Amino acid sequence: MMVNKVELCGVNTSKLPVLTNAQMRELFQRMQAGDPTAREELIGGNLRLVLSVIQRFNNRGEYVDDLFQVGCIGLMKAIDNFDLSQNVRFSTYAVPMIIGEIRRYLRDNTPIRVSRSLRDIAYKALQVRDALVARLGREPTVQEVADELKMPVEEIVFALDAIQEPVSLFEPLYHDGGDPIYVMDQVSDDRDHDGNWLEGIAIREALRRLSDRERLILTLRFFEGKTQMEVAEEIGISQAQVSRLEKAALSHMRKYV
């Protein structure tokens, strides 16, 4: 991410103006009096504020132009909602709004698409969690968050899980100067477990010890999923015979597995 880039969205960042507090106050008064050009001047005069904020997100792998545009949306919201009567510097009011807009963009712009309703539940749960931390002085339980929202615990957990960012299997977990340990090194796959592999060999060996008819019956029944009646019709014997041969074959196999 190139935060020192001179051109952002066609804007030459090296020539951005800087407004004094007196100029800011005058422009806000003009804008609130209905002067549309004052709003444009306020936006242009505070673009450096957006630049300073997006540098905090330089490790997210996002295009700086995209973050700059999103930050400008936050800036415009701050300008439109700023109250001159409050004894607060504009930058103090605007920075959290710009950061919030960028964070919302980063949460929504993930490889895994999550429905708006699910995201809304998750964000409400996070807000309630912060409020409970301030009130209780400790980390609240999921049940307490669910009680505040009057929602089932399962729904809260599902929503919070849905907004988690995906992690690459090649994300390094630990590095001590030698070979790093990746996420994939900590993920097990039962299908490739040595026990299953050995069990498969044992089953194949046991099948070889059966007669051709017994082996055919077990193959049709358990590998092709056919019923005893279907096996009987295919082989040309009764269903009772298939049942008897199947039980005998399985009994023989248990001796070898």
Looking at the structure, do residues 151 and 215 belong to the same domain, yes or no?
Answer: no
Tens digits of residue pLDDT in 105-156: 877 766 556 677 877 888 889 889 988 888 888 888 989 999 999 999 888 8
Q: Can you tell me the mean pLDDT for 34-53? A: 89
Residues with Cβ within 8 Å of 54's Cβ and at least 6 positions away in sequence, in order, are 3, 64, 67, 68, 71, 102
Cβ atoms of residues 170 and 182 within 8 Å: yes
| DSSP state, residue 107 | H
> One-letter amino acid identity for 224?
E
Q: Is 237 left (phi over 0), alpha (psi -120 to 50) or beta?
A: beta
d(CA 133, CA 92): 24
Is residue 169 one of the residues assigned to a domain? no
Looking at the structure, do residues 14 and 95 belong to the same domain, yes or no?
Answer: yes
Residue 17 is part of a domain; what is its CATH number?
1.20.120.1810
- Least confidently predicted of 29-43, 51-65, 102-116, 139-153: 102-116
Q: Can you tell me the mean pLDDT for 150-172? A: 77
Looking at the structure, do residues 196 and 151 belong to the same domain, yes or no?
Answer: no
Burial of 47 (0-12, 13-18, 19+ CB in 10 A): buried
Secondary structure of residue 250 in the 3-state scheme: helix
Looking at the structure, do residues 95 and 142 belong to the same domain, yes or no?
Answer: no
pLDDT for position 183: 62
Looking at the structure, do residues 122 and 201 belong to the same domain, yes or no?
Answer: no
Cβ atoms of residues 3 and 58 within 8 Å: yes
Looking at the structure, do residues 126 and 93 belong to the same domain, yes or no?
Answer: no
Containing domain of residue 126, as a range? Answer: 116-162
Cβ atoms of residues 154 and 138 within 8 Å: no
Tens digits of residue pLDDT in 224-255: 888 888 888 888 888 888 888 888 888 877 77
Tens digits of residue pLDDT in 175-192: 555 566 666 655 555 555
Looking at the structure, do residues 71 and 102 belong to the same domain, yes or no?
Answer: yes
Residue 229 is part of a domain; what is its CATH number?
1.10.10.10
> How many structural domains compose the chain?
3
Q: What is the pTM of this model?
A: 0.44
d(CA 19, CA 47): 11
Looking at the structure, do residues 95 and 32 belong to the same domain, yes or no?
Answer: yes
Secondary structure of 195-208 as H, E, C letters: HHHHHHHHHHHHHH
